[in-house]
A = this chain, B = another copy of it.
Amino acid sequence: MVAPSRVPARSAAEARVVTSLLSRHGVLGGLDAVHSWLADAARGRWMETTRIPLDELAGWHRDEDTGYLWHETGRFFSVESVNVELGGGAVSRWCQPIINQPEIGILGILVREFDGVLHFLMQAKQEPGNPGGAVQLSPTVQATRSNYTGVHRGRPIPYLEHFRDPVSRAIVDIRQSEQGAWFYRKRNRNMVVEAGAEVEAAEGFCWLTLGQIAAVLEIPDLVNMDTRTVLACLPGGGAAFARAVPQHPVDGFAGALARSGDPTSPAVHTTDEVLSWITAARTRTELRVASRPLRQLPGWREADGAISHHSGRFFSVVGVQVRAEGREVGDWSQPMIEPAGPGIIAFVLKRIRGVLHVLVHARSEPGYADVVELAPTVQCAPGNYEVLPEEARPRYLDTVLSPAARVRFDTVLSEEGGRFLEARNRYLVVEADVEVADDDPEYRWLTLAQFDDLLRHSFYVNIQARTLVLCLRGLAARQ
């Protein structure tokens, strides 16, 4: 079989994604119907998460030598700890607990056309760490290898067969990293796969357009992290995006956004220059991460059945007991990471020659597979800086919180509820007049089209920036 050449194939996918992004009405109905379906799905679900001491977690034990927390099967994940040395950072050496989950899981969304418009099969799903134990809009499938090889002896996972190899008709199929501050080299396989017309939505599932998902992305804590990362990896739209989004008035925000998605628009830096800058950062940054015992970890203390930082900042490792109905296993306990406070994650935007550019930061985190990834302009938990040196304060934090910033997106979203307990971040997209030197070692201006290029590959764009890319594209659908 000879496929059409790659350029037209990609263009076709882009056009279909853009059509779905601009559709607020789908097979289910309008946005009202989406809200009704979510309310219905939440009804009758039940999940209770109770804090318990780490040493009372059923099925988990602590290694005598290292103090690491393991599941008795040896699968799922473990809580370990590392010594981190980061050359050039404001804090150049520290110790911390970290989650080790070496298995590559699947985050998969099925798509199907209804009336010529792509619809995404979303699941209403609870996770123990979701704020309020609430139902969130989740991918069709979220499965660790332990899940799908049956280690947990639970119910079979619906739709999993569409994401097993050999995969055909994938629109997205790429491994991406997750939080490098809390996970050691965790990678998940982000997938969007086309289903045939015979595939129906089971109970708890629903076909939504991308525009409908973009609309509910503005509701706090509703669209889960796994959905956000998978959808951010979709083809961004390219020329189709630029054509479909209204460019009038020429000096308006929507026009600048549309042109940002067009690969032929002028960019401050060529993509080759951006890649060279990433190469330089990955070469220059000396990151050393070495295991060290979790017992008596410098800077951390164990008390009340949890492991916390002496300062009370950053995060704690806590134990929870979970009781649930409506998911694979009804009752279990597990360790989780509980952040000390909410974070701020922001893109600073600027129109340069009429094209919207995003200011990205070359950031290093201990769990990254390849030293440095592109992060939002600001990504921090402001409370932490009370115990850190002044020079550690993020460069553009004041900019994004300033009244002078023109706010384009501002919603609190929560992170992976399977591993993190009530981890919430305020996601902000603002326009601001900041000046950055062309050869600044840490920051660069990128267009949306350049994000699109980078998101076809692993480990360039970090998980927080992926959420913001999705929010930014979603602004094109705002009415």
Contact = CB atoms under 8 A, between A and B. Distances in A.
A270 B10 contact: yes
B269 A167 contact: no
A94 to B, nearest CB: 21
A265 B104 contact: no
Contacts of A7: 263-264
Contacts of A303: none
A279 interface: yes
Nearest to A353: B2
Contacts of A166: 280, 439, 441
B272 A10 contact: yes
Interface string A273-315: 1011001101110000000000000000000000000000000
B2 A267 contact: yes
A456 B275 contact: yes
A228 interface: no
A199 interface: no
Interface stretch (A67-75, A169-177, A250-258, A376-384): A169-177
A418 to B, nearest CB: 19
B283 A175 contact: yes
A6 B280 contact: no
A268 B6 contact: no
A402 to B, nearest CB: 26
Interface in A167-190: 167-168, 170-171, 173-175, 189
A369 B371 CA distance: 12
Interface string A103-144: 010000000000000000000000000000000000000000
Contacts of A282: 104, 175
A266 interface: yes
Contacts of A284: 165
A197 interface: no
Contact of A167 (B1, B276, B450, B457): B276
Contacts of A83: none
A74 to B, nearest CB: 13
Contacts of A352: 2
Contacts of A101: none
Interface string A440-462: 01000000001000001110000
A441 B6 CA distance: 20
A410 interface: no
A3 B275 CA distance: 15
A107 to B, nearest CB: 12
Interface string A22-46: 0000000000000000000000000
Contact of A276 (B9, B170, B280, B370): B170
B268 A5 contact: no
A2 B175 contact: no
20 contacts: A1-B268, A2-B266, A2-B352, A3-B270, A5-B270, A6-B263, A6-B267, A6-B270, A10-B270, A10-B271, A13-B272, A165-B284, A166-B439, A166-B441, A170-B276, A171-B272, A175-B283, A189-B283, A275-B457, A370-B458
